[in-house]
């Protein structure tokens, strides 16, 4: 018989693995970060590729590793949980206790329903708003990311700009009918939002927003304005907190900014590095998930093989326990501000048109001389952005093309190493 043993990954060089990836997967990868770097392991705020090259890691798994890679406390509970079985398709104690902690922490949450990804959570949140209001349209903001559903992929990163409120599909395969159900407005522009809500309130189920959109902070009064407008016109307010939940504060961005939505979605941090996300709202709104609580035409079916998975829930409970400890958020903000301030000082000594945009838990350097207030003003010079990210990777700093995530595990030594690498990379960029 032929040898059917699957090769050990460690028996391959990085170049060999890259070649296999390009042969067996579209674009040579999973559809996420497309660098030809094969990560082998992580610890705290660092990762190593299969060749042993070490990086300070500001990807942190695109956000979920907020207490660091291979955190020993999280690892311990996961190993204990896995030894008892991986999943059951029934209620489990870890998932129930995670739901209770979320309800205790998040202002808009009286009840929670778990799913496996942020994309699922966002799609269900939109459907929930439609079920509750009996109206079909959703208003979102240009450049806002709400997952990979057909509805979420309207005007996330439009290659052509349209007149508001018309949205642009970001992917092939999206039906034209979906485009008609989404209204699009510029972020941080209350005047446009209010005009659109007044015009469409009889068919508008909800406004869906990232309270901190990608890297763009809300202007003072913007979130408060969304809350006022939605209440005045009988429209629900959804906060997509898949990214910001438990990152800006223990109660999420709604605690950080002091504005409570009707519905929120959560992900990343609450799964501790495992696939888990959630929809949360009042008991009245969440009743649509309970066939015994609403009429047949108001019931929302929701089933997921791994929803509330006990391993993910156990990791999430321990992650939230760590974040709840005194000083956790102060440390995250201190590390983030140190990097932001350092970047700003270094760039100020050059003639580069660049600025640091965001807030301490997540930010980036944009090559622009504009004030960044919405999607259209957030465009960074693509050539300089790509080259700068290459220079940073070559100096042992790993990040996405458009964001630094700061974790509880990053240290002052990491900040110093990063600032040294940044100064050298900027110097090289200026010389080129």
Which residues are identified as catalytic? 145, 240, 268
Other C-beta atoms within 10 Å of 55: how many? 21
Detail the DSSP E strand segments found in 282-400. 355-359, 362-366, 397-398
Q: 363-378: b or e for each residue (b if 16 or more CB lie within 10 Å)?
A: bbbbbbeeebbbbebb
- Find, among 175, 129, 135, the residue nearest to 153 by Cα: 175
Any idea what the Cα angle at residue 256 is, between residues 122 and 269, rounded to 5°?
50
Burial of 417 (0-12, 13-18, 19+ CB in 10 A): middle
What is d(CA 43, CA 234) in angstroms, rounded to the nearest whole number? 48
Do the Cβ atoms of 313 and 94 come closer than 8 Å? Answer: yes
Is there a cis peptide before residue 350, judged by omega within 30 degrees of 0?
A: no
387 HSE (CA, 13 A, CB side): 13
β-strands 263-266, 236-241 pairing? parallel
Any idea what the Cα angle at residue 291 is, between residues 287 and 295, rounded to 5°?
85
Do the Cβ atoms of 280 and 108 come closer than 8 Å? Answer: yes
What is d(CA 28, CA 6) in angstroms, rounded to the nearest whole number? 20
Please, where are the H alpha helices in 324-364? 328-348
What is d(CA 247, CA 406) in angstroms, rounded to the nearest whole number? 9
Please, where are the H alpha helices in 190-252? 190-200, 222-233
Q: What are phi and psi of 218, to 5 degrees?
A: -70, 140
226 HSE (CA, 13 A, CB side): 30
CA distances (Å), origin 28, targets 19, 172, 173, 353: 8, 20, 21, 33
């Amino acid at each position: 018989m032929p040898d059917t043993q699957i090769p050990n990954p460690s028996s391959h060089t990085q170049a060999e693995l890259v070649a296999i990836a390009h042969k067996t997967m579209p674009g040579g990868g999973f559809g996420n970060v497309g660098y030809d770097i094969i990560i082998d392991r992580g610890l705290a705020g660092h990762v190593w590729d299969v060749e042993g090259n070490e990086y300070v890691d500001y990807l942190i798994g695109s956000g979920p590793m907020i207490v660091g890679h291979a955190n020993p406390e999280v690892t311990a509970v996961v190993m204990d949980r896995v030894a008892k079985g991986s999943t059951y398709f029934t209620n489990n104690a870890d998932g129930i206790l995670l739901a209770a902690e979320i309800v205790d922490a998040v202002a808009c949450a009286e009840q929670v329903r778990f799913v496996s990804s942020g994309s699922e959570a966002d799609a269900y949140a939109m459907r929930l708003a439609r079920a509750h209001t009996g109206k079909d349209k959703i208003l979102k903001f240009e450049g806002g990311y709400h997952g990979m559903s057909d509805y979420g992929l309207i005007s996330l990163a439009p290659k052509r700009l349209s007149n508001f409120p018309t949205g642009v599909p970001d992917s092939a395969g999206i039906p034209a009918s979906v485009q008609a159900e989404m209204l699009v407005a510029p972020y941080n522009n209350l005047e446009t939002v209010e005009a659109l809500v007044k015009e469409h309130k009889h068919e508008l189920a909800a406004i869906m927003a990232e309270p901190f959109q990608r890297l763009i902070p809300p202007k003072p009064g913007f979130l408060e304005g969304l809350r006022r407008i939605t209440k005045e016109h009988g429209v629900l307010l959804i906060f997509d907190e898949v990214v910001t939940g438990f990152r800006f504060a223990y109660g999420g961005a709604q605690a950080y900014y002091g504005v409570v939505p009707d519905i929120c979605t959560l992900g990343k941090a609450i799964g501790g590095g495992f696939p888990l996300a959630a929809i949360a709202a009042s008991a009245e709104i969440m009743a649509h998930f309970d066939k015994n609580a609403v009429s047949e035409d108001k019931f929302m079916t929701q089933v997921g093989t791994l929803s509330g998975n006990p391993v993910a829930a156990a990791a999430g409970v321990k992650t939230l326990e760590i974040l709840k400890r005194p000083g956790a958020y102060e440390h995250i903000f201190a590390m983030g501000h140190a990097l932001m301030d350092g970047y700003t000082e270094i760039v100020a000594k050059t003639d580069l048109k660049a600025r640091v945009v965001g807030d301490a838990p997540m930010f980036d350097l944009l090559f622009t001389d504009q004030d960044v207030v919405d999607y259209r003003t957030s465009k960074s010079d693509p050539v300089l952005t790509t080259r700068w990210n290459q220079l940073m990777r070559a100096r042992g700093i790993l990040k996405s093309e458009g964001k630094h995530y700061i974790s509880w595990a990053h240290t002052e030594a990491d900040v110093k190493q990063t600032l040294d690498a940044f100064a050298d990379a900027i110097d090289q960029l200026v010389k080129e």
